[in-house]
Amino acid sequence: MYIAAGQFAVTPDWRENARLCVTMMARAAAQGASLLVLPEALLARDDNDPELSVNSAQPLDGGFLQPLLAQSAQDNLTTLLTIHVPSIPGRAVNTLVALRGGEIVATYAKLHLYDAFNIQESRRIDAGKIVPPLIEVEGVRVGLMTCYDLRFPEMALGLALAGAELLALPAAWVKGPLKEHHWATLLAARALDTTCYVAAGECGNRNIGQSRIVDPLGVTVAAAAEGPGLVIAEYDRARLALARQQLPLLRNRRFAPPQLL
């Protein structure tokens, strides 16, 4: 199975962003990918209007997802991304959606909101309350996470203990001092913590890009730079089995499984 991670700079126009998603989906499918991870919060963004992401929120049956669902109906791809979905007036939920066969097959409301580095995501975003589901892609169990979730190892470990073999992480990692270092270190750490593959996918003036696919021994097997792009790597079940044989962390643990809210 092949995994793809795609990144682009989100624009203020949701129609243009939907077009970019459809283009990425078609490219990934044409290159034989079974799973595509797209960025976080890609409905609309404007560096000069930090409120736009929430103000432009759409329901799951809104106009943004319709062309993506139409594309999804034409290929064998499972596509992951997040958009803001309205909750109460003036607030929204950062919602991961999984698309396959022209349908939404899973959703996940982001648990860990980015209240760090002088940003307060919770000011207008409501946190989720339900542990993300595992989905299956060609027999591979995939755990769902979103961006800041990466900094919480108990979440990744909980998904691995539930059976995840791959962790998929739509992200929009904000630039800042040492942030690229944090990103690379945390992706490798979560892969090693869980002996899972990890795939992440936004770039632009505000975010670092640098989508990566990391194998269960912490090796980056595909990576993007700071600009728009699509990277693809093979999910190798034998590599996963080898990692879990050589590094049986999930069996050697001495602490009780983490309790996810």
Residue range 124-182, pLDDT digits in tens = 999 999 999 899 999 999 999 999 999 999 999 999 999 999 999 999 999 999 999 99
Q: In what order do the strands lie in the sheet with 140-144?
A: 134-137, 140-144, 166-169, 197-200, 212-214, 220-223
pTM: 0.96
Q: In what order do the strands lie in the sheet with 92-100?
A: 103-109, 92-100, 78-86, 35-37, 2-7, 229-234
What is the DSSP pairing of strand 115-116 with strand 119-120?
A: antiparallel
What tokens were used for 43? 């409905």
Residues 6+ apart with CB under 8 A from 20: 8, 11
- Residue 259 in this model has a pLDDT that exceeds 90: no
Question: What percent of the chain stands above pLDDT 70?
Answer: 98
Secondary structure class of 170 (helix, strand, coil): coil
Please report, as a single letter, which amino acid is at residue 227: G
Domains of the chain as residue ranges with CATH:
2-248 (3.60.110.10)
Residue range 105-114, pLDDT digits in tens: 999 999 999 9
CB 225 within 8 A of CB 209: yes
Tell me which residues are annotated as active site: 40, 110, 147
